[in-house]
């Protein structure tokens, strides 16, 4: 129905029991805006040719298929489903979403000759039961990318012309293909003129596998790994027309026929010979390589080039001094070199690569006559600091820390007077000096701790003088650690000196304080007393102050001690008891004669 432009209300078409939809929309090249997603496909088993030949010869129409909602769990045949047998362009894109293809066995010619499709995402396809992928993408000349990430090809027996004539395809990932059941590889990539890279190193092949024309006319293909191919028969014209193929990895069972064009020597870049990268084995021409290779010297064979001048990679600091041994890159003239890789853009201990000034010629081509130099510049790497702490024996900080900064591998030395500080009141504990007093700065922070003991003070001298400065008693000395407190206000220091009385109106102001590194003197002054003391009178009275007994007197010298608390003075008086409470309130019950 080539004139059909639209189908309305497709959702009302009850296809719930339909099992065969083959050719259903074949040839309907003028359909526009049809909601194919409304179709119920839950029981369909055959979708072969379903959208075949949907072609607009005038190239005016554009069909974008959305099949993402389809239930295709029972479909077994999708062969030729989008086969564009009439030529021309209509289907531009297909959205498969997560379509269920787990029961499909036949995908032969599924997308054949769809010139307008540029991208296909088939990563949701389950191909675990597919046996035939013959011509699956044949003639899709506009196809630039196809996602095959989850393709399971373990049951596939034929891949004939699978990607044949996909002339816009630059690369395709078939590296995970399981080809253990595939017997037919003929024309698999034939005339993929833009194809530069294809990894077939993991292909499993057998003595019955056919390879005829497999890469024929892949004019842009640059390298192939055929080392696992079993090529005893059926490989005619396999590499015919591969004029850019400059690297072939061979195995012991790899064989060729004459087909790879001879190397173009007109540029002066290549000698025309093939050479093994590891064995050094050479073949004089492509014809000789194709006919003479017998599997005895497997290797990666490349076009032999004329040697280019070396590229020297240097490593310098900002002063132009070399900080690492230079490296040399060798290769053939006009071949590319790459000094941007980790092998050349080095990490050097103690230095940071100057990424703001990378060499412009880090990537280029070997020159036939002129050596080249690539220079990487480096800056010194800032190190983590070394912190010098100062602590007392209780691990308390007694001075602000000192910080040492610099660059990795710089020397540091904290054994000097600049770091072994003299701290007032403390002495450096040289029995506990740290082990890491010297070393090199690194990318790890370090801590060095000096321990200090409290220093001996100069002490305090307590002097005893009369009002004229005459010494009345031997000095007393207090010693201890700097910072310790002292107190000479006690009786141990405010001495009783015979014939003298401490002048409490002239007490020194420094009777208490802290010991320091400077000697301190405390001077007590005494007044001289008369030689004979006034008597001490002991009276005996009742609570009404009536005298009960004759007074007693205690006599002595000035400054002598008296004591009226003994039985000699605390008399037993008939009819009375001593009121000890009142007695002890007496101010001068004991004391010194005055």
Q: Read off the pLDDT of residues 177-196 as tens digits, 9 standing for 90 and up.
A: 999 999 999 999 999 999 99
What architecture is domain 311-380? Roll (3.10)
What are the distances in angstroms from CA 1 to CA 10, 41, 67?
16, 22, 21
Is 315:348 a contact under the CB 8 Å cutoff? yes
- What pLDDT score does 104 carry? 98
Radius of gyration of the chain (CA): 55
Half-sphere exposure of 456 (CA within 13 A, CB side): 4
Per 3-state DSSP, the chain is made up of helix, strand and coil in percentages (nearest 5) of 5, 30, 65
Coil, strand or helix: which one is 536?
Answer: strand
- What pLDDT score does 207 carry? 81
pLDDT beyond 60 at 228: yes
Question: In whole angstroms, what is the distance from residue 72 CA to residue 45 CA?
Answer: 8
pLDDT beyond 60 at 584: no
Question: In whole angstroms, what is the distance from residue 323 CA to residue 353 CA?
Answer: 12
Q: How many CB atoms lie under 10 A from the CB of residue 443?
A: 11
Question: In whole angstroms, what is the distance from residue 192 CA to residue 220 CA?
Answer: 8
Is 107:132 a contact under the CB 8 Å cutoff? yes
Question: What average pLDDT does the segment 88-102 reach?
Answer: 86
The ranges of the chain annotated as CATH 3.10.20.320 are 311-380, 386-454, 460-528
Contacts of 8 (CB under 8 A, 6+ apart): none
What are the distances in angstroms from CA 392 to CA 425, 430, 458?
11, 13, 20
Is 185:198 a contact under the CB 8 Å cutoff? no
Alpha helix (H) residue ranges in 331-420? none
pLDDT bracket for residue 530 (50, 70, 90): confident
Q: What is 460-528's CATH topology? A: Ubiquitin-like (UB roll) (3.10.20)
Question: In whole angstroms, what is the distance from residue 285 CA to residue 263 CA?
Answer: 7
pLDDT bracket for residue 60 (50, 70, 90): low
Q: What is 386-454's CATH topology? A: Ubiquitin-like (UB roll) (3.10.20)
- What pLDDT score does 195 carry? 97
**Total-model pTM:** 0.61
Location of structure tokens 């001068």 = 588
């Amino acid at each position: 129905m080539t004139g059909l432009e639209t189908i309305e209300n497709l959702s009302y078409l009850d296809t719930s029991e339909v099992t065969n939809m083959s050719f259903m929309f074949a040839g309907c090249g003028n359909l526009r805006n049809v909601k194919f997603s409304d179709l119920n496909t839950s029981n369909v088993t055959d979708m072969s040719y379903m959208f075949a030949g949907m072609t607009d010869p005038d190239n005016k129409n554009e069909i974008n298929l959305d099949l993402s909602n389809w239930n295709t769990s029972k479909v077994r045949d999708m062969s030729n489903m989008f086969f564009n047998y009439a030529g021309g362009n209509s289907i531009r894109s297909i959205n498969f979403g997560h379509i269920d293809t787990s029961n499909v066995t036949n995908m032969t010619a599924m997308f054949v000759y769809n010139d307008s499709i540029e991208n296909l995402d088939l990563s949701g396809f389950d191909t675990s039961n597919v046996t035939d992928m013959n011509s699956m993408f044949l003639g899709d000349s506009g196809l630039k990318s196809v996602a095959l990430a989850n393709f399971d090809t373990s049951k596939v027996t034929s891949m004939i012309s699978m990607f044949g004539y996909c002339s816009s395809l630059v690369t395709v990932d078939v590296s995970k293909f399981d080809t253990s059941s595939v017997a037919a590889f003929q024309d698999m990539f034939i005339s993929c003129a833009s194809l530069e890279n294809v990894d077939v190193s993991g292909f499993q092949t057998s003595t019955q596998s056919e390879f005829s024309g497999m890469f024929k006319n892949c004019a842009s293909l640059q390298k192939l790994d055929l080392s696992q191919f079993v090529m005893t028969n059926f490989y005619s014209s396999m590499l015919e027309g591969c004029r850019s193929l400059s690297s072939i990895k061979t195995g012991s069972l790899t064989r060729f026929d004459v087909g790879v064009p001879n190397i173009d020597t007109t540029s002066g870049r290549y000698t025309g010979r093939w050479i093994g990268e590891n064995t050094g084995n050479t073949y004089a021409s492509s014809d000789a390589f194709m006919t003479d290779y017998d599997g005895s010297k497997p290797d990666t064979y490349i076009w032999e080039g004329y040697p280019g001048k070396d590229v020297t990679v240097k490593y310098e600091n900002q002063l132009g001094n070399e900080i690492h041994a230079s490296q040399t890159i060798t290769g053939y003239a006009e071949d590319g070199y790459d000094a941007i890789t980790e092998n050349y853009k080095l990490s050097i201990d103690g230095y940071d690569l100057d990424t703001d000034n990378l060499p412009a010629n880090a990537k280029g081509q070997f020159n036939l006559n002129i050596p080249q130099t690539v220079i990487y510049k480096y800056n010194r790497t800032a190190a983590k600091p070394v912190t010098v702490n100062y602590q007392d024996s209780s691990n308390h900080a007694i001075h602000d820390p000192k910080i040492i900064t610099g660059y990795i591998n710089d020397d540091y030395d904290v054994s000097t007077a600049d770091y072994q500080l003299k701290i007032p009141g403390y002495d450096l504990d040289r029995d506990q000096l740290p082990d890491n007093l010297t070393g090199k700065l690194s990318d790890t922070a370090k801590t060095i701790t000096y321990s200090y003991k409290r220093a001996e003070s100069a002490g305090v001298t307590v002097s005893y003088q009369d009002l004229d400065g005459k010494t009345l008693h031997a000095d007393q000395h207090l010693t201890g650690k700097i910072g310790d407190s002292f107190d000479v206000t006690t009786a141990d220091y405010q001495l009783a000196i015979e014939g003298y009385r401490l002048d409490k109106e002239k007490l020194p102001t420094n009777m208490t304080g802290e010991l320091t590194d400077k000697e301190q003197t405390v001077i007590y002054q005494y007044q001289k007393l008369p030689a004979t003391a006034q008597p001490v009178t002991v009276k005996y009275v009742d609570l009404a102050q009536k005298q009960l007994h004759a007074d007693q007197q205690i006599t002595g010298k000035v400054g002598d001690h008296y004591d009226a608390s003994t039985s000699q003075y605390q008399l037993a008086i008939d009819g009375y008891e001593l009121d000890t409470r009142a007695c002890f309130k007496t101010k001068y019950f004991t004391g010194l004669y005055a």
